[in-house]
Copies of this chain bind each other. A is one copy, B any other.
Amino acid sequence: MAETHATTTPRERYRAQVRAEIKERAWEQIATTGASALSLNAIAKQMGMSGPALYRYFASRDDLITALIRDAYRSLADACRLAAEAGPGPDLAALAHALRGWALADPQRYFLVYGTPVPGYHAPEDTTAITHEIMTLMLDACAALPPSGPASPFDAHLADHRAWTGDHPAPPAALHRALSFWTRLHGLLSLELAGHFTGMDFDPAEMYAAELDALLAG
């Protein structure tokens, strides 16, 4: 990120490598026990180090989790961007497919981004930039769809409250569709990953496809 020289110093390389390994172990631990049970001590023991040694690399447990959240956002944005750039043009279905794949690949990672927030915690500034990047991909895909149906009252509301799009040229109906895309698919994924569909015998993937179809139809 902030490189003074083209080649980093050995110390910086080593530091980056250790930081990466700490995050690696943290992800393994989170995937099995959840983020709330993440233990710096356990990570240090796994790496053959003593507990306080980790504090040379992350100022606190919250600092480590913040780094993980940041990486998760980045990973999601990359997955979405990859899906968006795969086809000839913006493709909402591809975006939806990528989102579901990313979520199912590591549910706890999804919950780290979209799950229960800790009341005191405030996300760092750059994550909002990444969410904006993801939102732009959704807006692009929605703007490319043919308009359908009459304008709803909420479309009119959005026409007056579109500062969050950052000068995106999409019409209000596309804004509405992008928001619905986000909230509906999140609702489905969130309940599925939390296990609220277990015991119900329908296929969540089929409902996901149905919800996407409804979104595309308008």
Contact = CB atoms under 8 A, between A and B. Distances in A.
Interface string A189-218: 011001110011111001101110110000
Contact of A188 (B32, B153, B183): B183
Interface in A153-204: 153-154, 157-158, 161-164, 176, 179-180, 182-188, 190-191, 194-196, 199-203
Contacts of A195: 117
Given A116-B116, A154-B210, A185-B187, 15 more contacts: A34-B118, A35-B116, A37-B118, A114-B190, A152-B213, A153-B206, A154-B206, A161-B200, A162-B202, A179-B202, A180-B214, A183-B207, A183-B211, A187-B190, A190-B190
Interface string A29-64: 000111111000000000000000000000000000
A156 to B, nearest CB: 10
Contacts of A213: 152
- How many copies of the shown chain assemble into the complex? 2
Nearest to A192: B183
Contacts of A117: 34, 111, 194-195
Contacts of A101: none
Contacts of A183: 184, 187-188, 191, 207, 211
Interface residues of A, number: 53
A213 to B, nearest CB: 7
8 contacts: A114-B190, A114-B194, A115-B116, A115-B194, A117-B194, A154-B209, A157-B206, A176-B210
